[in-house]
C-alpha cells in the first residue's frame, strides 16, 4: 500500500491529466466544428496553451522533485511564451492580408497610407 504523499501526488496528476485532456479534446473539436479562421485560431490556442500546460503539470507531479521536473517546467515556460506569441503573429498576418472575421460587416480596419504620399503640415507650411 502506498503512503499519503504518493496518493496525493497521483490524485493531483490525475486531475491535471483529466483537465489537460478535456482542453485538448474541446480544442480539437473546435478545430473541426468552428466556422471561420478566427474561431479555429482560438481553438488552436486553447490546445497549445491550456491543454499542453496541464499535461506538463501532470507529468511534473508524477516525476517528483528531479531533473525531469526542471526540464518539464522549462518546457512549460517555453510553451507559455511562444504559443500566444505565435497565435498573435498568425492572426496579425491574416488580418493584414485582408482576412476579416465573418461578423465584421464592413472593413473597420485603419487604412494604411504610405508616409511618402501624404502631405505633412508643420508650422503653417505645407511640405511634401
Mean pLDDT by 10 residues, the chain (128 residues): 82 95 91 88 86 94 93 94 91 86 64 51 50
Does residue 112 sit within a domain? no
Report DSSP state, residue 83: H
pTM, whole model, 2 decimals?
A: 0.72
What total of structural domains would you count in the chain?
Answer: 1
In which domain, by residue range, is 54 found? 4-100
Return d(Cα 22, Cα 25) in angstroms, integer.
Answer: 5
**Cβ neighbour number for residue 39 with a 10 Å cutoff:** 15
Give the residue among 67, 69, 74, 54 at the shortest CA–CA distance from 12. 54
Residue 120 lies in a domain: no
pLDDT number for residue 30: 87
Q: Is position 111 within any domain?
A: no
Say what the pLDDT of residue 128 is: 47
How many other CB atoms are there within 10 angstroms of residue 38's CB atom?
A: 17
pLDDT of residue 123: 52
- Report yes or no on 126 lying in a domain: no
Amino acid at each position: 500500500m502506498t503512503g499519503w504523499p504518493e496518493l496525493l501526488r497521483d490524485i493531483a496528476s490525475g486531475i491535471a491529466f483529466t483537465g489537460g485532456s478535456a482542453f485538448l479534446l474541446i480544442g480539437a473539436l473546435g478545430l473541426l466544428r468552428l466556422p471561420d479562421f478566427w474561431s479555429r485560431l482560438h481553438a488552436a490556442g486553447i490546445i497549445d496553451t491550456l491543454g499542453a500546460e496541464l499535461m506538463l503539470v501532470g507529468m511534473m507531479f508524477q516525476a517528483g522533485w528531479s531533473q525531469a521536473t526542471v526540464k518539464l517546467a522549462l518546457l512549460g515556460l517555453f510553451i507559455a511564451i511562444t504559443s500566444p506569441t505565435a497565435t498573435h503573429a498568425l492572426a496579425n498576418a491574416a488580418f493584414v492580408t485582408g482576412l476579416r472575421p465573418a461578423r465584421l460587416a464592413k472593413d473597420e480596419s485603419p487604412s494604411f497610407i504610405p508616409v511618402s504620399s501624404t502631405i505633412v503640415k508643420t508650422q503653417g507650411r505645407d511640405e511634401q
